[in-house]
């Protein structure tokens, strides 16, 4: 066998052994425990802080608003879409007050004129023109908006 | 409220109906660079291999340049991917826990195979005797480095050189399918995304391969002219004409394949066809102007003309130089049209988002320019460290 070849084989063997040694130290401890993933990842996900709650939990306390909302066009919109994540609020309602967005631009996020959207599904209004001195919520109750 | 503001701003970029997760492009300009740079590697290497395996003597002046260019670009090929990662410091994990069912997880090994078993070996066999000679001539640290690189094989006899050539030849023969594998794989990554009609095509690996060859040949043409100019040497016109001819043939093949892909889409006129025809008009600048007109038609026309009539050397030199740049830019836009174009339209086939490249940041313009420049810096170092023009010709003696 030519000398070049023997030397190269030695170099490759060294490289492969080094790779295996490095691999031994770098593969996360719990990898392959349950499958081709890091078993500890399950624990990491479990430890994430919960931010949102089930909408039914909102209805449990806010029965008045719930009864209003169920018959209106916003019935399928989750409370937390407008009011933000509610987990901490449920833990301690007095300390963690949720937001109540009232500015025109906020309603406009769904309802402002947009030629690319079908106007028979979400009502559209030119918020730069329509009754500009007042807030939307002064005329339209967001929990049961009427046209 | 900050999130809503971001969302509202993002919505102004949208046409028609798109799904929420399609607002922002996940694969940015860096993912455009990755197949581009990998293509340059594969293309430059294939040119070097043609020279060696088919013994195309006219290409000899570009042999080492192609090899070293392939190596310089290969060193950087993974960097756009790594800088695109959300957790770049964990890049090595793909190699540590490979999975055979994931094309991306296999990439690390395809890359390593190509780097270690093909490119480095070929360069080593090509330069071994020179390492020995230089390790005797140089002093200090450089002497030591060259000596280590010989791996202790200090034989400079014609017999050992013949062995080097023979083994190098075998490596080249293995290298050609490896280069095809490396870049075919990159096309495969896109071609296998069945949810995306702009990508999903069995022709994709082949198109990527041929465009890689086109860009690699253009790169070597460009480098050869620049390096010769800097070294104040005379350009070998036979070599330039041969590269030009090769570029012409491969460009025709590449153009034919890409046209075939488009014609197939147009004739098939599947459910995604409406959005794709709109997409093509959206990509007017990058597709029609840059890729097709500047990157393909003009080079094809000039190179085609040269096959029938050869103007003066001066004109040909200038033309080759301009063509190499046009082709390099054109292929970049081809990658852009694939990667960015494929993410602009919604899976609903009813809307578009837009992509605006940022200037700074991990996925910005500056970062991309850095990854384009670094290979040239590496190549400059390699040309100083392994100068092809100072190689010994032992077999001739």
Q: How far is A139 from chain B (nearest CA, A)?
A: 23
Tens digit of pLDDT at every position of chain A (147 positions)? 888 899 999 999 999 999 999 999 999 889 999 988 899 999 999 999 889 999 899 999 999 999 999 988 999 999 999 999 999 999 999 999 999 999 998 998 888 887 777 777 888 888 888 998 999 999 999 999 887
Counted residue by residue, chain A has a size of 147
Question: pLDDT, tens digit, for every residue of B269-293?
Answer: 888 888 888 898 889 999 999 999 9
Residues of A in contact with B13 (CB under 8 A): none
Q: In whole angstroms, what is the distance from residue B336 CA to residue B344 CA? A: 11
Q: State whether A4 and B15 contact (CB < 8 Å).
A: no
Cβ-contact B255, B298 below 8 angstroms: no
| Total Cβ atoms within 10 A of residue B274 | 13
Q: State whether B17 and A116 contact (CB < 8 Å).
A: yes
Q: State whether B128 and A4 contact (CB < 8 Å).
A: yes
Bridge-based pairing state of the strands B351-352 and B15-16: antiparallel
Stretch 62-121 of chain B: residues touching chain A, C-beta under 8 Å: 92-93, 95-97, 99, 116, 121
Average pLDDT score, chain B: 90
Preferred mutation among A116, A118, A124 to probe B, highest tally of B CBs within 10 A: A116
Q: How far is B153 from chain A (nearest CA, A)?
A: 6
Q: In whole angstroms, what is the distance from residue B14 CA to residue B322 CA? A: 38
Nearest to B153 among A7, A31, A117 (CB): A7
Structural domains of chain B sorted by starting position, each given as residue range(s) with its CATH number in brackets: 14-387 (1.20.1630.10)
Nearest alpha carbon to residue B183 among B240, B135, B118, B128: B118
Q: What does DSSP assign to residue A96?
A: S
ipTM comes to 0.81
Q: Is B2 a residue whose pLDDT tops 60?
A: no
10 Å CB burial of residue B296 (0-12, 13-18, 19+) is: buried
Q: Which residues pair with B15 in a beta bridge?
A: B352
Q: Provide the token pair at A143.
A: 């929990």
**Backbone region of residue B159 per phi and psi (left: phi > 0; alpha: psi in -120 to 50; beta: other values):** alpha
Q: Is B77 a residue whose pLDDT tops 50?
A: yes
Q: In whole angstroms, what is the distance from residue B235 CA to residue B232 CA? A: 9
Question: pLDDT, tens digit, for every residue of A49-65?
Answer: 889 999 899 999 999 99
């Amino acid at each position: 066998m030519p000398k070049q070849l023997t030397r190269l084989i030695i170099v490759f063997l060294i490289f492969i052994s080094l790779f295996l040694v490095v691999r031994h130290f770098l593969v996360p401890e719990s990898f392959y425990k349950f499958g081709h993933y890091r078993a500890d990842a399950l624990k990491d996900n479990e430890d994430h802080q919960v931010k949102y709650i089930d909408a039914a939990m909102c209805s449990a306390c806010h029965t008045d608003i719930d009864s209003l909302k169920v018959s209106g066009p916003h019935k399928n919109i989750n409370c937390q879409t407008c009011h933000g994540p509610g987990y901490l609020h449920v833990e301690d309602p007095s300390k963690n007050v949720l937001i109540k967005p009232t500015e025109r631009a906020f309603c406009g996020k769904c309802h402002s004129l947009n030629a690319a959207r079908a106007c028979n599904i979400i009502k559209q209004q030119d918020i730069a023109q329509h009754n500009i001195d007042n807030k939307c919520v002064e005329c339209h109750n967001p929990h049961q908006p009427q046209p | 409220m900050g999130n809503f503001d971001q969302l509202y701003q993002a919505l102004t970029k949208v046409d028609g109906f798109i799904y929420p997760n399609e607002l922002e492009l996940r694969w940015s300009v860096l993912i455009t660079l990755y197949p581009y740079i990998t293509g340059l590697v594969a293309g430059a290497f294939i040119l070097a291999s043609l020279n060696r395996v088919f013994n195309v003597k006219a290409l000899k002046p570009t042999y080492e340049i192609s090899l070293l260019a392939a190596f310089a670009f290969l060193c950087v090929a993974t960097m756009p991917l790594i800088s695109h990662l959300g957790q770049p410091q964990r890049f090595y994990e793909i190699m540590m826990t490979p999975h055979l069912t994931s094309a991306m997880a296999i990439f690390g090994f395809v890359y390593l195979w190509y780097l270690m078993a093909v490119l480095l070996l070929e360069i080593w066999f090509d330069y071994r005797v020179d390492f020995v000679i230089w390790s005797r001539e140089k002093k200090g640290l450089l002497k030591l480095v060259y000596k280590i690189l010989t791996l202790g094989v200090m034989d400079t006899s014609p017999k050992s050189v013949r062995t080097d050539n023979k083994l190098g030849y075998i490596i080249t023969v293995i290298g050609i399918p490896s280069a095809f594998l490396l870049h075919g794989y990159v096309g495969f990554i896109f071609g296998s995304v069945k949810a995306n009609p702009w990508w999903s095509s069995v022709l994709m690996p082949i198109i990527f391969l041929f465009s890689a060859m086109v860009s690699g040949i253009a790169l070597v043409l460009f480098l050869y002219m620049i390096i010769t100019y800097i070294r104040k040497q005379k350009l070998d016109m036979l070599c330039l004409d041969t590269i030009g001819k090769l570029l012409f043939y491969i460009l025709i093949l590449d153009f034919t394949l890409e046209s075939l892909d488009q014609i197939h889409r147009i004739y098939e006129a599947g459910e995604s066809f409406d959005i794709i025809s709109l997409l093509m008009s959206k990509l007017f600048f990058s597709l029609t102007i840059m890729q097709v007109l500047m990157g393909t038609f003009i080079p094809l026309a000039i190179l085609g003309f040269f096959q029938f009539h050869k103007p003066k050397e001066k004109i040909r030199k200038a033309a080759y130089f301009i063509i190499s740049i046009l082709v390099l830019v054109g292929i970049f836009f081809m990658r852009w049209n694939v990667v960015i174009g494929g993410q602009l339209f919604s899976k609903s086939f009813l809307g578009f988002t837009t992509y605006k490249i940022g200037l700074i940041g991990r996925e910005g313009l500056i970062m991309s320019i850095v990854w384009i420049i670094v290979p040239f810096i590496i190549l400059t170092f390699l040309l100083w460290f392994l100068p092809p023009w100072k190689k010994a010709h032992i077999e001739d003696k």
